[in-house]
Structure 1
Amino acid sequence: MSLNILQYESKIWATADLLRGSGIKESEWPSFMMPFFALAMIESRLVRMFDELKNEHGEAAFAAIEKDDLYDLIRDKGQGYNIFIFEKKQTLTDICKNDKSFEIDFQAYLMGFDGETKDLLGVDAVEGEKFLDIKGVIAKLKAKKVLLGYTKLWAEIDLKPFNNSEITTLEEHIKRKWADISAETAGEQYTPDDVIALISEIIASKIEENDKLLKIYDCTCGGGNMLFGVEDRINAKSKRLTQTFGQDWNDALYALAKIESRFRPDSKIEHGNTLVDDKFYNDEFDVVVANPPYGVSWKGYADDIGHDKTGRFKFQPSISDGQLLFMQHLISKLDSNGMGVVVHNGSTLFSGDAGSAESNIRKWMLDTDIVEAVIQLPTDEFFNTGIYTYLWVLNKRKRPEHKDKVMLLNASEKFKPLKKSKGSKRKEVDEASRLEIVATLTAFESNDYARVFEKEYFYFNKQSILLTNVDEDGKTFESLLPLKEDKKTGELKQETSLALEPLTLESGEVKLTDFSITKLAAGYTSLEQYVKPLVSRLDYKEQPLRVTVAGGAVYSFDSDREMLVKEVGGKKEALGCGKILVSCALKKATKAKAERIEISVELTADYQKDYEIIPFHKDPRSNQEAIAAFMARYISKPFEYLENVVGVELNFNKIFYKPETLRNVDEILTEILSIDSAIKNMESELGL
C-alpha cells in the first residue's frame, strides 16, 4: 500500500481531545468512539465496494442499472446498504458541510442504512440490546453541543484507500487502546498483536495444505482482533481458504466484530453467552482460538451450567473462575483432527487440589491426550496486567512420536523490551523469538528452556490415611475397646468407642452433675442456651477434664504423655492414647420425661485423618508398590488406607527453577574487610 494506515491511529485518537474538552471522563471515551469508528469503517468499505462494482460493470452500464436491481446487486454482497451512499452519492463528509441541516441530514443518513447495520449501530434502539448505542451517544454529544464538531473529526478520517486486512490492522490498534482504559477487571484481556502472531505461527506450522476449507472459531471473540488477526496471518502463509466463526456477550464488541465479519468471506459472528447459549451448537471446527476472561465468576448462570445437556462440561470448576469451562467448551468444538491455541493465566495449571474439578479437568485433558504443549509467555505482555500468561496448544492429531507426551516450553525470556511501555505491556515476543518458539515446538525435543514429558509425569497420588495416634509407650486405647457381634454377618467387630455413665464432669470452674437437666440457671431462657456453652468448654486437652463414674473411678487425659488415665482409689492405670468426647443433645418432652438436655461421654482411640502426596506411576501395580514403599519409609504410626485420588498439575516453577548462585565465602569476607577498612579511614579523617 502506498499509505501506512497506522498514520490514522493518532488522528482517530485525537478525536478524544474534543471529548476531554467537553468534560467526558477518559473511561467513557471508548463508548463515544466505537460507534463513530464503526461508521467510518462501514462507509469506507461500502464506498470501496460501490467503486469495485462500477469497475466490474463499466461506468455506463452501471449507471443504467435500475434502483431495485442495484439494491439486489449490493445486497448479494452481504456488506450492508446505505441510501445516501448508493443513491444520493453522499458521504458523511458531504453531510457535515451544511451546518444548518446537519442534524436532520445526519439522522436521515443513519436511518438510510439497512436494518442489520442500524441494529448494530443502535440507531433507533429504545430498549434491550443497544449494541454500539449511537443513539445514546448522539444525545450526549448534543447535550454537550459538540455533535457536529465531533462528527466532522470522524468524517475527515478517510479509510477508502485501504483494504479489509489493512483496516483490521488499524482496528486492532484502536481497540487495544480502548481496552487499556476501559477494562473493568483484570479478567478482561485484549490480546496483543505479537501474541496473536505467535498463535498464528503455531497454527500455521500444523495445518496441512489441501483444498479443504479451514474453519476457525473463537468462543470469546470480543471485537474480533484475535479471530480475524489469526485468519489474516494464516491467509498470508497458506493457500487454504478460511472461514471464521465467533461469539461474544459484550454488546459493543460483538457489534464491531459483526460489522467486520460482513467484509470477510462468509464469516459468521453471533451474540450471546457461549457457555449457556452456544450459537454454533451443531458445528465443529478445524482450529479454535480464544483468550477467555481470567478469574471472572459464572455465578450468575450457574443453574444453566448445571443443567447443560450438551455433555461438553465434564466437570464444573470453582464458581469464581470460568476459564476451564471455556476450555472444555472449546475442546468439544474441535473436529476429529482439530487443533487450537488458548490463552489462560496460571490458575488453569495448578488451581484446585486432587479430586477438585480443576484437577479433574486437567486429568481428563491429559487422559484424552489432547494437550500437546503449554507455553509460558513473559510477564508484562498484556496491556493491563503484568502476570504470566500461558498458551495451551491442543491437538487431536498428534504425530505418533508425540502421543501421550506433553511439552512445557518456558518462553518467559523470549522477548524484546518495548522502547515505550503500553500500559502494563513492557515486552513483546519479537519475530525472532516467535520463530524460535515454533521451531522448538516442532522439533519436540528437550533443551535448556523446553522439556518433553510423558503425560503421567504431571499426575500425583493424594493418598488419604487414617492414623491411629499412640502414647509415649506406643499404646493406643483402641486395644481396650470391646468386641461386638455384627448382626448381619455374625463377625466380631471392634467398637469405635466406649460409653461412660458419669456422675460428674469437671473442667476448671465448670462442673456438671445433673445429666438430665430440667432446671435453668438464673437469666437463661432455654436449656440449650444454658448447657451447650458449658459443654463446649469441656475440652479434655485444653483443661484438666475429670469424669467420675459409679464406683468412684475417675477418667482423665494426661496431656504430657498423650494418654487416657483411669484412677481408682488413688491407683492410676494408663489406657493408651485416646480421647474423651463430651456431647449434649436437646430431647423433647415425652410422656415419661420432661424436656431435657442429655449429656453423653465416651472414650475413643485417637484417630487422625491425613494424606500424603506421592509420585504417580502409570502401571497400577507399580503405583501401589510406590505408595506402600513411601508409607513404610515415612509413616511410623499404625494406619489404614483410605481413598487415593489422582491429581494433575503442571508446575513450571518446579521444572524450570534455577537456584540463585551463591557467592564464594572468601569473596564475601574480602568485601567485608574492604568495607571495614573504608569505614576506619573515614573515621580517621573525621578525627573519631
Structure 2
Amino acid sequence: MTDNNNILQYESRIWATADLLRGCGIKESEWPSYMMPFFALVMIESRLIRMLDELTAEIGEAELADLDAEDRMTLIQDRGQGYNKFIFERNLTLKDICKNDKSFDNDFEAYLKGFDGETRDLLGVEATDGEKFLDIKGVIAKLKAKKVLLGYTKEWSGIDLKPFDNSAITTLEEHIKRRWADISAETAGEQYTPDDVIGLIAEIIASKIEDSDRLLKIYDCTCGGGNLLFGVEDRINAKVQRLTQTFGQDWNDALYALAKIESRFRLDSKIEHGNTLTDDKFYNDEFEVVIANPPYGVSWKGYEKAIKDDKTQRFQYVPSISDGQLLFMQHLISKLSEQGMGVVVHNGSTLFSGDAGSAESNIRKWMLDIDIVEAVIQLPTDEFFNTGIYTYLWVLNKRKSSDRLNKVMLINASEKFKPLKKNKGSKRKEIDETSRLEIVETLARFVDNDYARVFDKEFFYFNKQGIMLTNVDEQGRSFASHLKDGKTSLKLSPIALDNGVRSLTEFTITDYDAAKFDSLADLYEQDIKPFVDSLDYKDQPLVVTTDKAVYSFDSDRETIIKQSGSKREELGCGKIVVKSAFKKASKTQAERIEITVELTPDYQKDYEIIPFHRDEVANREAIAAFMAKYITKPFEYLENVVGVEINFNKVFYKPEKLRSVEEILGEIASLDQELQKLEKLIIDN
C-alpha cells in the first residue's frame, strides 16, 4: 500500500497547471472546467497502466506477449475498467505524445479516440449536443484557439500517478475536487464534504457495523464526484472486515463523470447519472447504509410536476418548493433495508422550518413517529469550504437497540474542533481525530453529558391548539348575549352613518354626480368603497343612527353603546361591521350601491403552543390545564395540530453570566474619573 500522504505532494503540481490558464486570460472560476478532463486523463492512464502491470504479473510477461492483439485486448476489456488501444497497442502514453509537437494534434486525437466507448462518452471526446459530461472536446477547442493546447497537455503529462494505488489517488482526487469547489462560485447549497466530516460519518457508521461475510451496500443519492461515497467506503474497509459495494447517483455532468471513472477502478461500484428525485436509477434496491450531503436551500420548482406526480410513495409530504433537502431525506429513508442505517448532512432549516401542520413539520413528525432518528449532531461553524453556517448530521437507524427505542440524542459538537493553521476558503476549523472519536463514543454510550442529551422523542413534539376567543368588555360582557339563538349578528336598518368627518344618509344610492363620476360604478369604486373600507369603529367616533337608536363604540370601556333617547345601554364587547356593495341592474331593480351595518360579537382566532404528552388523555388534560391557567376570556376549542421542531439553542442555551451591580457601578465611576481628567486637560490647554 502506497503512503497516501506522499501523494499529496502532487496537489501543488496539479494546481500549477492552472498557471498557464491564468496566463492566457482564463478566469479562475472557469479553471475547474479546464482541469477536470485533464485530471481524468492522467488518472485513467495511470490506472490503466497499473491494470496492465497487474495483468502481466498474473499471466506472465512472456505469455501476455505471445497473445495476439485481439486476445490481449479481450483480456483487458474483461476486467471492466476500460481500455485505450493507443496505449496498449502502440505502447505510447500522453507524455510520449507531447514529445513531438509536429504529430501532436493527430496523435492526441488518436489517443482520445483509442479509449473505450464509455470512457470517450465520460470525457466528452465526441460530444455534440446533449450530455457532454467532462466536455474535453470543448475544452480542447478553447485551448487550441488560445494556442496553448500542447503546452497545457504537456503540463499534465508530467504528472505521473502510476506509482500510487487507487486509495492514494482517491485521496489526491478529493483534495483537488475540494479546491475546485472552493473557486467555482458554488452556492452554499452545493457543498463539498470535507475530509474530517467524511471521517466522522465513516466512524459513526463503522461503530455500528460488525465483521461479517455479508455484503454491505452503501448508497449516496447525491454523490457528486464521489468523495463522500468512496471516502466512507475506504474508511469502513480500514476498520471493519466486510465486503462493500457502492452505489451513487448525481445530476451534475462533470462530477458524475469523475465518480463514474473512479467507480470502475473499485472492486464493486455502480454510479448512475440523473436526477435522483425524478429518476431513481436504483428504484428496486435497498441499502444497508445511506449517506448524503444534498444541496441546501435549492429550489425544485423546475421539476415540481414530476415530484407531485411521483408514484413511488417515497414522499410522505412535499416540503416548500424553495428547499428540497427533506425530499432527499424521505428518498433515503425509503431506500433503507430492514436493518439499514444512515448519516445525512443538512443545514439547520430541516430542524425547525415550517409551522405545525406544514409539510416540513409533518416530515419531522413522520420520521420520529416511525422512530428512525437515533441522533442529530450539530457540527462547528466554518466547517465547509464556502459557507460558515452550522451544519447537522442526522443519524438514521432502523435497528435501534431496545434501550434507544423512541429516544433521540442531541449532540452539540459545535466546540469539538481545532482551528486550521491556514484557512481553506470559509473553512477555518476541522473536527480532529480526537474529537471525532469522542463524538462517536458519546453516541455509543447514549447517556447525557455536558454537550449531549437523550430525550424521549415526544420532547420535540408540541400542540398547536387553535381556540376562538370571545373578547369581552371590562365588565366581562360580550355582545353575544344580545343575539337570539342561531343568530350570529344583529342587522341594523340605518338612516345615517357618521365618522366625524363625513356623514352618509342614503344607504341605497341610485344616482351620482355626472360632473365628478362617469357612472354609478365609478362612484362606488372611487368614493363609497374606499370610504367604507376606511371606517374603524375602534379608532374613529363612528356613529350609526337608526329610527329607534344610535349605536357607537366606547373604546375606553370596550363596549358597544346603544343610545335610545336619554337611555344609555352598554351591550358588551362587539364589532360594528359596515359593508358596501355595488349591485348591477336586474329585471326588478335598477343598479345601486348598498351599504349595510351589522353588530357582531368580537371573536378572535388564536393559537397556543403547549407541550405534548404521548398519552392522549394526559395530552388533553395538559391542554385544559394550560387554558385554565393562561386564558381568561371565554373561548371554544378549534383544531389541534401536533408539530415537531428540534431546537438546539433551546436545549443547549447557556445564559450569559450577568455582572454584579457593584462591578458595573465601579466601572462607571472609573470612566467618570477618566472623563473628568480629559475635561480638565482640555480646559487647562
Query: What is the TM-score when the length of structure 2 is the normalising length?
Result: 0.96
Query: Is residue 582–residue 593 contact of structure 2 (8 Å, CA) maintained in 1?
Result: yes
Match of 2:496 among 493, 496, 504: 504
Question: Counterpart of 1:591 in 2: which secondary structure?
Answer: coil
Deviation at 1:67, TM superposition (A): 2.1
Deviation at 1:682, TM superposition (A): 6.4
Deviation at 1:540, TM superposition (A): 1.8
| In 2: Cα distance, 1:39 partner to 1:101 partner | 19
Match of 1:648 among 644, 647, 651: 644
Q: 1:518: which partner in 2?
A: 510
**Are 1:11 and 2:8 counterparts?**
no
Unaligned runs of 5+ in 1: 484-493
| In 2: Cα distance, 1:495 partner to 1:370 partner | 51
**Are 1:561 and 2:557 counterparts?**
yes
1:396-423 per-position Cα deviation (integer Å, ceiling 9, x unaligned): 0001101111000000111011011101
Residues 203-242 of structure 1: matches in 2 within 5 Å?
203-242=205-244
Q: 1:415: which partner in 2?
A: 417
| In 2: Cα distance, 1:323 partner to 1:502 partner | 58
| In 2: Cα distance, 1:377 partner to 1:319 partner | 26
1:134-165 per-position Cα deviation (integer Å, ceiling 9, x unaligned): 11111111111111110000000111111111
Query: Is residue 374–residue 391 contact of structure 1 (8 Å, CA) maintained in 2?
Result: yes
Q: 2:30: which partner in 1?
A: 28
Deviation at 1:183, TM superposition (A): 3.7
Deviation at 1:548, TM superposition (A): 1.9
1:512-545 per-position Cα deviation (integer Å, ceiling 9, x unaligned): 3333333234234534424322221222223222
**Are 1:578 and 2:578 counterparts?**
no
| In 2: Cα distance, 1:262 partner to 1:569 partner | 97
Q: 1:488: which partner in 2?
A: none
Query: Is residue 244–residue 268 contact of structure 2 (8 Å, CA) maintained in 1?
Result: no
| In 1: Cα distance, 2:512 partner to 2:137 partner | 72
**Are 1:601 and 2:597 counterparts?**
yes
| In 1: Cα distance, 2:401 partner to 2:660 partner | 48
Match of 1:635 among 631, 637, 653: 631
| In 2: Cα distance, 1:64 partner to 1:142 partner | 41
The CA RMSD over aligned residues, in Å, is 1.6
| In 2: Cα distance, 1:83 partner to 1:472 partner | 94
Residues 147-158 of structure 1: matches in 2 within 5 Å?
147-158=149-160
Q: 1:106: which partner in 2?
A: 108
Which letter does structure 1 place at the counterpart of 2:191?
A: Q
Q: 1:590: which partner in 2?
A: 586
Deviation at 1:555, TM superposition (A): 1.5
Deviation at 1:231, TM superposition (A): 0.3
1:355-411 per-position Cα deviation (integer Å, ceiling 9, x unaligned): 111111111101100000000101110011111100000000001101111000000
Which letter does structure 2 place at the counterpart of 1:501?
A: S
Q: 1:661: which partner in 2?
A: 657
Residues 425-440 of structure 1: matches in 2 within 5 Å?
425-440=427-442
Match of 2:487 among 469, 484, 495: 495
Q: Cα distance 1:111–1:599, how it changes in 2: closer, same or farther (>3 A)?
A: same
| In 1: Cα distance, 2:20 partner to 2:100 partner | 20
Question: Counterpart of 1:576 in 2: which secondary structure?
Answer: coil
Which letter does structure 2 place at the counterpart of 1:220?
A: T
1:79-108 per-position Cα deviation (integer Å, ceiling 9, x unaligned): 111111111111111111111121121111
Residues 156-171 of structure 1: matches in 2 within 5 Å?
156-171=158-173
Which letter does structure 2 place at the counterpart of 1:110?
A: L
Deviation at 1:278, TM superposition (A): 0.6
Which letter does structure 2 place at the counterpart of 1:363?
A: K
179-188 vs 251-260, which deviates more? Answer: 179-188
Question: Counterpart of 1:383 in 2: which secondary structure?
Answer: coil
| In 2: Cα distance, 1:438 partner to 1:524 partner | 78
Deviation at 1:558, TM superposition (A): 1.6
Deviation at 1:216, TM superposition (A): 0.2
1:17-66 per-position Cα deviation (integer Å, ceiling 9, x unaligned): 11111111111011111111111111111111011111111111101112
648-657 vs 535-544, which deviates more? Answer: 535-544
**Are 1:538 and 2:535 counterparts?**
yes
Match of 2:464 among 453, 462, 485: 462
| In 2: Cα distance, 1:665 partner to 1:568 partner | 61
| In 1: Cα distance, 2:572 partner to 2:562 partner | 10
Query: Is residue 194–residue 429 contact of structure 1 (8 Å, CA) maintained in 2?
Result: yes
Q: Cα distance 1:508–1:139, how it changes in 2: closer, same or farther (>3 A)?
A: farther
| In 2: Cα distance, 1:29 partner to 1:176 partner | 13
Question: Counterpart of 1:582 in 2: which secondary structure?
Answer: strand
Which letter does structure 1 place at the counterpart of 2:509?
A: I
1:193-223 per-position Cα deviation (integer Å, ceiling 9, x unaligned): 0000000000000012211100000000000
Residues 21-420 of structure 1: matches in 2 within 5 Å?
21-420=23-422
Which letter does structure 1 place at the counterpart of 2:309?
A: H
Question: Counterpart of 2:218 in 1: which secondary structure?
Answer: strand
1:420-455 per-position Cα deviation (integer Å, ceiling 9, x unaligned): 110111100000000000001000000001000111
| In 2: Cα distance, 1:165 partner to 1:544 partner | 82
Unaligned runs of 5+ in 2: none
| In 2: Cα distance, 1:544 partner to 1:224 partner | 71
Q: Cα distance 1:670–1:304, how it changes in 2: closer, same or farther (>3 A)?
A: same
| In 1: Cα distance, 2:109 partner to 2:544 partner | 89
1:61-81 per-position Cα deviation (integer Å, ceiling 9, x unaligned): 101112222222111111111
Query: Is residue 260–residue 271 contact of structure 2 (8 Å, CA) maintained in 1?
Result: yes
Matched-pair identity in %: 75
246-255 vs 183-192, which deviates more? Answer: 183-192
Q: 1:490: which partner in 2?
A: none
Which letter does structure 1 place at the counterpart of 2:223?
A: C
Question: Counterpart of 1:590 in 2: which secondary structure?
Answer: coil
Query: Is residue 510–residue 534 contact of structure 1 (8 Å, CA) maintained in 2?
Result: no
Q: Cα distance 1:583–1:169, how it changes in 2: closer, same or farther (>3 A)?
A: same
Deviation at 1:111, TM superposition (A): 1.2
Query: Is residue 541–residue 553 contact of structure 2 (8 Å, CA) maintained in 1?
Result: yes
Deviation at 1:659, TM superposition (A): 1.1
